[in-house]
Each structure stands twice: as C-alpha cells, then as structure tokens.
Amino acid sequence: MKVLNSLEDEVKKIIKNDPAHDFEHIMRVYKNAKKICKKERANEKLVLSAALLHDLVSYPKSDKRSKLSSIESAKKSQSILKKYNFSHEEIMIISDAIRDHSFSQKKIPNTIEGKILQDADRLDALGAIGIARVFATSGSLKRPFYDIDDPFCKKRNPDDNIWAVDHFYKKLLTLESLMNTKSGKAEAKKRTEILKEFLKQLKDEI
C-alpha cells in the first residue's frame, strides 16, 4: 500500500525526538499492529494508518495538556488523511481509534481497528522496551528511580510523578488485564512476565 509509505514520510517530518514517543516508537506500534491484524478480522490499511498517525501530538508527561495528546492527534490526522483521498468513513474510523487509544482517556474503542491500535500501543509499554521507555522518560524528567523507604509500593499508593518504579504499579502491570484482542493478550502476558522478573531482580539488588 503506497499510501502507508506516504504517511510514514509525513510522520517522520512531524514526530519530535521524545525519549518514549519518537519515530521508533511509532514503527514498533506499527509492527505490533500488523502482527495482531493478521490474527484479527480488521482492515489492515485503516489499522496501520492509525498506527502511523497515533502520536502526531505528544505533550510531555509533565505538561498539563498531556491528556489531550490523543485528542489533538486525532484532529491532526484528519487533515492529513484528506490529502490522500481516504473516505469520510475511513477517516472517522482512523481518527476515532487514535482519539480513544490513550491510557489516560480510559476508553475501550468501539471498532476492531481501534482495539488493535490500543493493544499495539500498550504492548510497547511492556517487556524490555517498556522498561527502557520508563527510565528514558524518568531520566528526562529528572525523577529518581524509587522511593528508598518503600520502593515497591507495599504500604502506599504509587506516584509515578515522583518515582520511576512507581509507574510499573500505577500503569504497566495493569495493562495485561486491559488488552482487547486474544493475540494482544497473549503477547502482553509474555511481556508482563519480563516486567515482573525485572522487579524481582531489582529487589534483590537494592
């Protein structure tokens, strides 16, 4: 599909070098989405277009507008898709998927295309790459690794605005149960085990 190559070129010009939402993140989500698409009945063109355009706007986690990133990305995607003669219905499916994919929106997408995008994006928050992204983001925000008095949130609610490891408990370890598709759930289970092994090893080392 030539249109996907064109969209990829567009995105390269727009995406900023954010430590966790860079162009490499986009392409990993694209790869995840393609794998899930093969096992689910979905329109690959729409799913992969959504994957390419899902982070057109990405405010830093420290920015008050952070929760608006997916909403603004959805709006921005519409103007790009119109240039490539996507139908109105196709544009709505793609932009709705982008709008609803974000964890902070707390939504379950209505379409299978949206569900696949959400799963594909969440998979990139898990496993080895998920661990790397946590500490890349926390480093850029100058957050310490963990609370020295309670590193693993045994006696307190996790606060990932302060400590990096808290993000595992606030978000990452919950993702497996929130996956939409059968293939997404299977991959999330494998990647979540990697997170648990990391935390177990970290506990031994500190």
Same domain, 19 and 73: yes
Same domain, 111 and 142: no
Q: Which of 105, 120, 135 represents a domain boundary (last residue)?
A: 120
* Residue 62: predicted pLDDT: 64
pLDDT tens for each residue of 129-161: 999 999 999 998 899 999 999 999 999 999 999
Distance CA 80, CA 150 (A): 47
CATH number of the structural domain spanning residue 61? 1.10.3210.10
Same domain, 30 and 72: yes
Q: Is the pLDDT of residue 166 over 70?
A: yes
Using only C-alpha atoms, the chain has a radius of gyration, in whole angstroms, of 17
Same domain, 10 and 107: yes
**Residue 167 belongs to what domain range?**
125-206
The mean pLDDT value of the chain amounts to: 92
Same domain, 159 and 78: no
Same domain, 74 and 41: yes
Same domain, 176 and 98: no
Q: What is the pTM of this model?
A: 0.92
Number of domains within the chain? 2
Q: Which of 99, 120, 141 represents a domain boundary (last residue)?
A: 120
